[in-house]
Homo-oligomer: A and B are copies of this chain.
């Protein structure tokens, strides 16, 4: 299969969501361009990366195109194939993320929540199993957790991130206000709201 460039991958992922939200049966690159603000040539080029070859002359069939993107990126499939992830730090934010159903229909499954406060994890009720941070290593290994959402206090961010990486975590979604220093092969995405806003407007 053709190698797809990072920007193109991101756009295709967004397209997939748009398609899954669309009521239409067929859709053209011009319509997608209106919906996204991207050039129509860009959209056609992105889609041609999928090597679908089905869109000739009257647009793409929404379901087929969506399906092809999901297949290409392996989004979907049985629960057993889902990427297992956890939330580390169950303050207000961690708790909110735990309860939201954001992972439904995503290729991720939330299989654990961790907090140092043992009282809290005993009192909190959650459909996701909660553990003490003491058990971080054993649970990450036994539950085969690959990704972590980091929502601990800033002071603990680097320390916890180092621990997570040493236990084999492949990627971290970082809600803290700290820029983490980690080995190059660990994926990190900084999603602190202030940081996102700053990046959004930086002229």
Q: Which residues of A contact B (CB under 8 A)?
A: 9-10, 13-14, 17-18, 21, 35, 37, 73, 75, 83, 85, 91-93, 95-97, 99-100, 102-103, 105-108, 147, 149, 170-171, 173, 177-179, 181, 184, 187, 189-203
Contact = CB atoms under 8 A, between A and B. Distances in A.
**Interface of A, helix, strand, loop or mixed by DSSP:** mixed
Given A83-B197, A103-B194, A202 B96 contact: no
Nearest to A93: B96
A171 B187 contact: no
Given A202-B9, A203-B73, A100 B106 contact: no
A181 B15 CA distance: 12
Contact of A200 (B102, B173, B193, B197): B173
B96 A193 contact: no
A202 B73 contact: yes
B93 A179 contact: no
Number of copies: 2
A200 B108 CA distance: 12
A107 to B, nearest CB: 6
A195 to B, nearest CB: 7
Nearest to A87: B193
B17 A108 contact: no
Contacts of A194: 102-103, 105-106, 108
B189 A171 contact: no
Contacts of A170: 201
Contacts of A181: 18, 35
Contacts of A198: 13, 73, 75, 106-108
